[in-house]
Amino acid sequence: MKLHKTLLVLPVFAFFSAAGATDLEVLMKGCDDCHGKNGVSQWTDVPTIAGIDAFTHADALFMFRDEDLPCSESEYRQGDTSRAATTMCAVAAELSDDDIEALGDAYAELPFVAAVQDFDVALVEAGAAIHDKQCDKCHSDGGSNVEDEASILAGQWIAYMEASFANYLSGDRPQDKKMEEKMSALSESDVKALIHYYASQQ
């Protein structure tokens, strides 16, 4: 059954070599060509997908397949980088329900590795306070607890989080009513502080 959830950090670009492919290793190799080895991203605009809750990961892929999430174009980051750029919506359109569930389960078993990146130390304390007040109920433990069935915020790349927040605030990315209320209460400086708080968790 497909269940849509609206969460902050969701998987972005993946690819597999043949439509209808069922071999999990082939599927994951394609995903890793954009998300990094074992789903750990080395690129600031691409999220790490390793360790994300299986339901959350699969639900994002279903939403991409239905074109309910923004379909930004991306180049391949490793493997055959001469391939034409693609979008997650185009990729997910070729995945079966079983493929999607298998990918969610497989990446959930891999360890999340926080991005090592610079952050503004002066913003971290303010961001932590905002998180505790506005976000912790759904993204507990500073945004790192996968048992919430919410995506991992702590340790994701700043550039990716900036793009995700912008999509939510512009209405380009769907969200449930409760999250929309929380997001609309955030100022530009609140968003910046939150992002640097999450980035500080390395």
Residue ranges of domains in the chain: 24-108, 121-199
Report the C-alpha gap between 16 and 127 in whole angstroms: 38
Q: The domain 24-108 is classified under which CATH number: 1.10.3210.10, 3.60.20.10, 3.90.199.10, 1.10.760.10?
A: 1.10.760.10
SS3 86: strand
Q: How many whole angstroms separate alpha carbon 22 and alpha carbon 61?
A: 16
DSSP-assigned letter for residue 51: T
pLDDT band per the 50, 70, 90 thresholds, residue 8: very low
Residue with tokens 């074109």: 67
Matching fold, domains 24-108 and 121-199: yes
pLDDT digits (tens, 9 = 90+) for 59-92: 999 999 999 999 999 999 999 999 999 999 999 9
Stated pTM of the model: 0.86
Among 14-18, 107-111, 129-133, 145-149, the least confident range: 14-18
49 pLDDT more than 90: yes
SS3 breakdown of the chain: % helix, strand, coil, rounded to 5?
A: 50, 0, 50
To the question of domain 121-199 being in CATH 1.10.760.10, the answer is: yes
